[in-house]
Amino acid sequence: MYILSISCFYHDSSATLLKDGQIVAAAAEERFSRKKHDSSFPNKAIKYCLDSQKINIDDIDYISFYEKPLLKFERVLYQFLETFPWGFKMFVTTLPLWLKEKIRIPKIIKKKLKYKKDIFFIEHHLAHADSSFLASPFEKSAILVVDGVGEWATTSFGVGEGNNIKLIKELNFPHSLGLLYSTITAYLGFSVNNSEYKVMGLSAYGEMDKNKNEYYKKIKNVIDIKEDGSFRLDMNYFIYHYSDRMPSSKLCELLGGPIRIKESEITQRHKDIATALQLVTEEVMTKILHYIYKKTKCKNIVLAGGVALNSLFNGKIIKNTPFKNIWIQPDSGDGGTSIGTALYVYNTILGNKRNYEFKNVYLGPEYTIEEIELYLKKNNIKYDKINNIDKLIRKTAQLIYQDKIVGWFQGRMEWGPRALGNRSILANPLNPDMKNILNLKVKHRENFRPFAPAVCEDDALKYFECKEYLSNIAKYMLAVCPVRAEWKNKLSSVTHIDGTARVQIVNRDDNPIFFHLIKEFGKLSGIPVVINTSFNVRGEPIVCTPGDAYNCIVGTEIDYLVMGRFLINKKDNLHHVFKKE
């Protein structure tokens, strides 16, 4: 049985293919279209999923979609009527898109795919909950979903047991922790639904003492937080419920100035505001989790929704709440809902026993040695072919040890927003200047942005305080953990200003080539840790194809590209003018 699941028309469109209960292919549309956070119908991602199994649309038994369009349209109409006349302009702008596309999704799917069978529409927060619980290792677990907004819900919790999920309680729009975070993200001059993680990184530079951070008190003025974690926003400070802008003039006045102009100086005030926002977010989330534990008495918790990508908070959950075990699906945002609805249809609607646990993050396209070599020859790219994988790993480790920056392109592309060792840029964490080099010359991004260390599972506890997350969410860079004091100076390029790191734990079975590369680097350096950052430049999706990878090294100061069994030295190809595939 094949189930195809689709997420699209808001942001981060994706497609997932399930075969007899097992996820066999999944990818975001942006990786193929090269449009970051692509929201369009995922034609290319769907094509990849079908091609991966050598099937066509007639082989698909069911299709599922990640929300209920009519229920969402009801909320959109309500919010504009409720805020009339202020929302009239936005209503006039938005309505044609809804009438043309968003409420016609069943017809669009059938027409675009020439599909004639059943389509299931799953409520948005249930899709999020499915994506974590039904893919988790737990037979029973508490569930927390926190995002911007689904149809109506912005925060919901419940319990999953066996095949079934029950969402018990929810908070509804416009009161949203995700939209509060996005509003402050916009105020700080960063892009919404794209750069919230920048604010999280920036928060390490601000005043951490709540009594000394004046902006903590100011943000607390706009959110009424109850002991159970439920909250209400003072909507006098917000306009996102009727405008295409987020920060209001009243919020700007409260925070002491206008919206920061993009690319302008980041001042200490901006840093303190980012810290205040993170502190308030963690306060709300901690209270919610304590309440959920009190109501469910489950020792296991799964999280989903965009706020579950807040790795800084995730790294504190076990320490600061009663929960003993945690699991988060690698793409907990909207893109990840396509995994959730596929599993929900198979396990819950159709009643099949759960036979899947998410362990393999490498669900995207891969390219054979022959395909890669054909591309290199076709474009007259000079390369060395190293058939012996051990020799290739040793050579790559030597290059990294010599402070060369390496684009690393192997196997199937990762699922989710993190590069986890198959579409990665690798560098030497022992070079204290490497963080600045990568930010300035490779990633072309803000200099405060930290880089993640990748370390093998059996070495991790020597360098990082990550015991609680060792074999679960740290595999997906979803938890920030302290760097052990004795290693902070040596690992300064991956140690954030607050002494933490967003570590990736690498398991031998999950990714043996990357595992052995890290070990080989350790033999040379004495410390088996490498910098692992996503193989892309600012504003572009992570690379997918050999052409994407080569194009990326041409436009940056990456020194080498290791693609399959091929080693490409950029200096040997300086004359080369890139040609698309």
- Give 184-211 pLDDT, tens digit per residue: 999 999 999 889 999 999 999 999 999 9
Domain at 172-328: CATH code: 3.30.420.40
φ/ψ of 482, rounded to 5, equals -65, 140
* Token pair in block for residue 126: 């249930």
Residue tagged 């600012």 (tokens): 538
Residue tagged 């198959």 (tokens): 422
**2-124+335-349: CATH topology:** Nucleotidyltransferase; domain 5 (3.30.420)
Q: What CATH class does 369-573 carry?
A: alpha beta
- The whole-angstrom separation of Cα 561 and Cα 565 is 10
Q: What is the pLDDT along the chain (581 residues), one digit of tens a residue?
A: 999 999 999 889 999 999 999 999 999 999 999 999 999 999 999 999 999 999 999 999 999 999 998 888 777 777 766 776 676 667 667 776 666 677 789 999 999 999 999 999 999 999 999 999 999 999 999 999 999 999 999 999 999 999 999 999 999 999 999 999 999 999 999 999 889 999 999 999 999 999 999 999 999 999 999 999 999 999 999 998 877 778 999 999 999 999 999 989 999 999 999 999 999 999 999 999 999 999 999 999 999 999 999 999 999 999 999 999 999 999 999 999 999 999 999 999 999 999 999 999 999 999 999 999 999 999 999 999 999 999 999 999 999 999 999 999 999 999 999 999 999 999 999 999 999 999 888 888 888 888 999 999 999 999 999 998 977 899 999 999 999 999 999 999 999 999 999 999 999 999 999 999 999 999 999 999 999 999 999 889 999 999 999 999 998 999 999 999 999 999 999 765 544 44
Question: Does this chain's domain 172-328 share its CATH topology with 369-573?
Answer: no
Condensed to tens digits (0 to 9), the pLDDT of residues 113-167 reads 999 999 999 999 999 999 999 999 999 999 999 999 999 999 999 999 999 999 9
Nearest-10 Cα torsion for 6, 10, 13, 16:
-30
E-strand ranges in 12-163 read: 14-19, 22-28, 62-65, 119-121, 140-146, 153-161
Residue tagged 């043996």 (tokens): 512
Domain ranges of the chain: 2-124+335-349, 172-328, 369-573
Nearest-10 Cα torsion for 267, 268, 273, 279:
140
Residue 182 has, within 13 A of its CA and on its CB side, a CA count of 23
Q: Which of 345, 354, 370, 282 is nearest to 546 (CA)?
A: 370
Q: Which of 74, 245, 61 is nearest to 152 (CA)?
A: 74
**CA of 547: how far to CAs of 46, 203, 509, 513, in Å?**
21, 36, 28, 22
Judge contact between 32 and 544, C-beta under 8 A.
yes
Three-state SS for 241?
A: coil
